Every structure is written in structure tokens, then in C-alpha cells.
Amino acid sequence: MKILTLLSSILMLSSFSASALDVKQRFDHLDSNKSGYLTHDELDAQPQLLNTFVMWDKDQDSKISLIEFKNYLTNNLY
């Protein structure tokens, strides 16, 4: 039983790391100018993301940070 619990814990941790890496990779792909932020211009080709820009941009600075991106995905998609 202890082995099963340990194995489950390892799988959960590796899954979390993979999803965190996936979020970072998605963000980096969208951040075409590599500024560390997503802007309206960078999301022009992604209308489904651009339409929800205001909900992502929690600090209302007209750009989306990696943390805002991660928080939105975590709270709304996963």
C-alpha cells in the first residue's frame, strides 16, 4: 500500500511539473518579441485569446505576464 501511495505521489508531481512547463512553453511561443509579456499585437493571430485579454490582464497594464497567463489557465482551463 505504501508503494502505491508513493507511486501516486510521484506521478502527480511529475504531471504538475509537465503542466507548468507546458504553460511556460505556450507563453514563450506567443511572446514573439521575447519581452516577457504578451501584448495585443502578439495575440492578433489568436482571436480567442485576444477576446479575453481584459480577463487575463489582472493589473490592467495592457500586457499579460507569465504569472497572469498561468493563473488564468490554471483557474479557467485546468
The pLDDT, as a whole number, for residue 73 is 83
| CA–CA distance, 78 with 42 (Å, rounded to integer) | 23
CB 69, CB 38: distance < 8 Å? yes
**pLDDT above 90: percentage of residues in the chain:** 45
62 pLDDT more than 90: yes
Q: What is the pTM of this model?
A: 0.69
Fold of 22-76: Recoverin; domain 1 (1.10.238)
- pLDDT tens, position by position, 8-22: 444 444 444 546 678
- In the block, residue with C-alpha cell 508513493: 6
Which H helix or E strand runs over 30? helix 2-30
Q: What is the largest CA-CA distance in the chain?
A: 53
